[in-house]
Amino acid sequence: MPTDTLPNPGTNPEKNPDRSTGELIRLEQVTKQFGSNTVLDHLDFSVDAGKHVTLIGPSGSGKTTILRLLMTLLKPDEGTITVDGQQLFPASDKQVREVRKKIGMVFQQFNLFPNMTVLRNITEAPVTVLGMSKDEAVERAKGLLDMVGLADKCDAHPAQLSGGQQQRVAIARALAMRPQVLLLDEVTSALDPELVAGVLDVLRDIARSTDITMLCVTHEMNFARDISDQVLMFDSGRIIESGSPEKIFSDPELDRTREFLSAVL
């Protein structure tokens, strides 16, 4: 898939002097409870700009909760969340709207707008939220569709696409907002097995050819091994172990990590 047509959702840092370096995401002492269930307990972690960090861990350990906090779909009970030096929590509504523009997310369920064409799904937010001109949004959307291998599907509606194609549209839609951070939550889990590889290839391509920071929850351990700079092992809302993919997947310190990996690998 040609990446040189990518209309600059990232490219590389030399071409993108405005992009931040250093710490891009920071969670400090973040606590999140649902009723009496403390899902995250004074969690600290940070992600450097341009890095690809994967969260792994058992079901219910809090991985999605972290992404939802960053998307401001949930609010923490305590702590602070900072993105690119600007506070996302606590923050005024105005500041939240500004900071949110830096973050894109792709969900397990693609959540495309069913009544809009593929092209419109991608151009809608850049025009209405970023104030991009329609012509520019269309041009960028076409470039992104080309990048995800769907240049011929501009006029299709989501229901006319396979799950894998819909997910690739959802990825293009997220990139159309030029996010600095892309959050990915088990984006291939709802797909038929034969469609998974195509979506992972697109994500590998993005990881390789852009400087977008990626925070990724996945059960696709080979993919995680390929793209990650760092892997964080979660258990009960805590990071119990972190390291390079080689370290975590081949020689983890903790029995708990070993146990989890032997169950999913």
Ligand X SMILES: Nc1ncnc2c1ncn2[C@@H]1O[C@H](COP(=O)(O)OP(=O)(O)OP(=O)(O)O)[C@@H](O)[C@H]1O
Residue 61 contacts Mg ion per CB under 5 A: no
Is residue 169 within 8 Å of residue 148, measured between CB atoms? Answer: yes
- Candidates 10-18, 22-30, 63-71, 162-170: pick the segment binding Mg ion (CB under 5 A): 63-71
Q: Which residues bind ligand X (CB under 6 A)?
A: 34, 37, 39, 59-65
The size of the interface with Mg ion (CB under 5 A), counted in residues, is 1
Of 205, 201, 170, the C-alpha closest to 185 is 170
Which H or E run includes 197?
A: helix 193-209
Among 20, 54, 61, 64, binds Mg ion (CB under 5 A): 64
Tell me how far, at minimum, the Cβ of 239 lies from Mg ion, in Å.
16
Q: Which is nearer to ligand X, 39 or 161 (CB)?
A: 39
Answer yes or no whether residue 165 interacts with Mg ion by CB under 5 A.
Answer: no
Task: List the x/- string, 175-214, binding to Mg ion by CB under 5 A.
Answer: ----------------------------------------
Which residues does residue 154 pair with via DSSP β-bridges, in sequence order?
Answer: none
Residue nearest to Mg ion (CB): 64
In the complex, minimum distance from the CB of residue 75 to ligand X, in angstroms, rounded to a whole number = 12
Q: Strands 37-48 and 23-34, how do they pair?
A: antiparallel
Packing angle of the helix pair 118-128, 134-147 (nearest 10 deg): 130
Distance CA 138, CA 123 (A): 6
Contact present, 121 and 171 (Cβ < 8 Å): no
Minimum CB separation of residue 98 from Mg ion in Å reads 27
Report whether 25 contacts 77 (CB < 8 A). no
Q: Which residues bind Mg ion (CB under 5 A)?
A: 64
